[in-house]
A and B are shown apart, each in its own frame.
Chain A
Amino acid sequence: MSENKILFNTGSLDEFAGEIGKLSDIEDSKLKLTPDNADSGLAKLVLTLVELIRKLVEKQAMRRVEGGTLTDDEIERLGETLMNLELKMEELKKHFNLTDRDLNINLGPLGDLM
């Protein structure tokens, strides 16, 4: 399309083009399951979901810490759990050769949970 549809902008177009380009990187953010990649495709899907839940748990935990209703002992144990979860997740990512970027697939309505 030869038309220019930018009506108003307040920054450098360079920056915007890059940012919008990243967001529109449709190929990357879509999960493609084919017979050949079913294994890694599934791992990617499952780990994306696990990572989302891990982040939600972490967020919820921080709200509770902030709420001030937890004892020192509880906070201690919470820290240990969260830290282990994060380490475990790193291991799984390494095992399936996935990066954070790979786990950034578009989760549709679930994405709104974050």
Chain B
Amino acid sequence: MEKMIYAILWVKDDSEKPDSLLKEMKGISGEELFLIAFGKITAVVSNIDKKSIVADNPSALAFARVIEELRKQFTLLPMRFGSFVDSADAVLKMLERNVSKIQDNLQIVDNKMEFGLKVFCDTGKLKAELIEKSNRQTSLSINPAPEANVSVFRDYVNKKLQAHRLEELLLNHVDSVISNITEFCDRLNISCKTRKMLSESTIIDTVFLLKINQQDMLINHLEELKTQYPGLNFVLTGPWPPYSFVESTIKK
């Protein structure tokens, strides 16, 4: 029978065996959860029929719920949905083969949690503000009056150039927000990863790996950031299992 792997736990002390916690939970399709241990690293698995796996929301949520409950008591590496191996024996082999990599990853996320920040704004409005600011500061006008007698190609380049300048202005603005966030993280020795311009309105997506006592500091900092950039909207979510801070691939 194939096994779906939910997470790899670090069971530091024999007295904190996760069995009792697992009894209160069910895996995907109501399957029983059980443990496969190699030393102090322990995989949480359930039986699964390979052919019956459907990547729908209910099973993804059932999968996530198990990890979320375990997170509250254990340092763990969350697996991506859809991680399965052929047998219990293969799970053990996988743990054995990757033990040092798994331990390194567990050290990194030990006692820490993931938080996610998304920054949204109306980029159209923001661009308009940036143009105005830029036109006031420099003689280089972003929207110059159309030149007479230019060829259709030249006109095309001019239009593209204007769009390009605007894009650069916007990116500079976004970068200034990102460096503010990065400086804050560096100061407190917090790991963070940022992606920018995910969509027209989602300009920043940052994930943080924090100790729980740093949560309030982060929120305070975001409040300051909001006063500095009133046009932007911030959403902070968490705590999450450290999904974004685990080395991504391990061998079966």
Per the CB under 8 Å rule, do A and B touch in the complex?
A: yes
A98 within 8 A of B: no
Partner of A8, one of B160, B195, B222: B222
Give the distance in Å from the alpha carbon of A76 to the alpha carbon of B150 in the complex. Answer: 10
Count of chain B residues near A, Cβ 8 A: 38
Question: Do B202 and A15 touch (CB < 8 A)?
Answer: no
Minimal Cβ-Cβ distance residue in B for A11: B233
Question: Do B234 and A8 touch (CB < 8 A)?
Answer: yes
Question: Do A7 and B65 touch (CB < 8 A)?
Answer: no
Contacts of A62 in B (CB 8 A): 160-161, 164
Give the distance in Å from the alpha carbon of A79 to the alpha carbon of B195 in the complex. Answer: 32
Question: Do A7 and B164 touch (CB < 8 A)?
Answer: no
Contacts of A79 in B (CB 8 A): 151-157
Give the distance in Å from the alpha carbon of A61 to the alpha carbon of B158 in the complex. Answer: 12
Contacts of A9 in B (CB 8 A): 233-236
* Contact residues of A: prevailing secondary structure: helix
A113 within 8 A of B: no
Question: Do B153 and A76 touch (CB < 8 A)?
Answer: yes
Question: Do A83 and B153 touch (CB < 8 A)?
Answer: yes
A10 within 8 A of B: yes
Contacts of A65 in B (CB 8 A): 157, 161
Minimal Cβ-Cβ distance residue in A for B164: A62
Interface residues of A (CB under 8 A from B): 1, 3, 5-11, 15-16, 19-20, 22-23, 58-59, 61-63, 65-66, 72, 75-80, 82-83, 112, 114
Contacts A10-B232, A23-B199 given; 7 further ones with Cβ under 8 A?
A6-B237, A8-B223, A16-B120, A19-B201, A20-B118, A23-B202, A62-B164
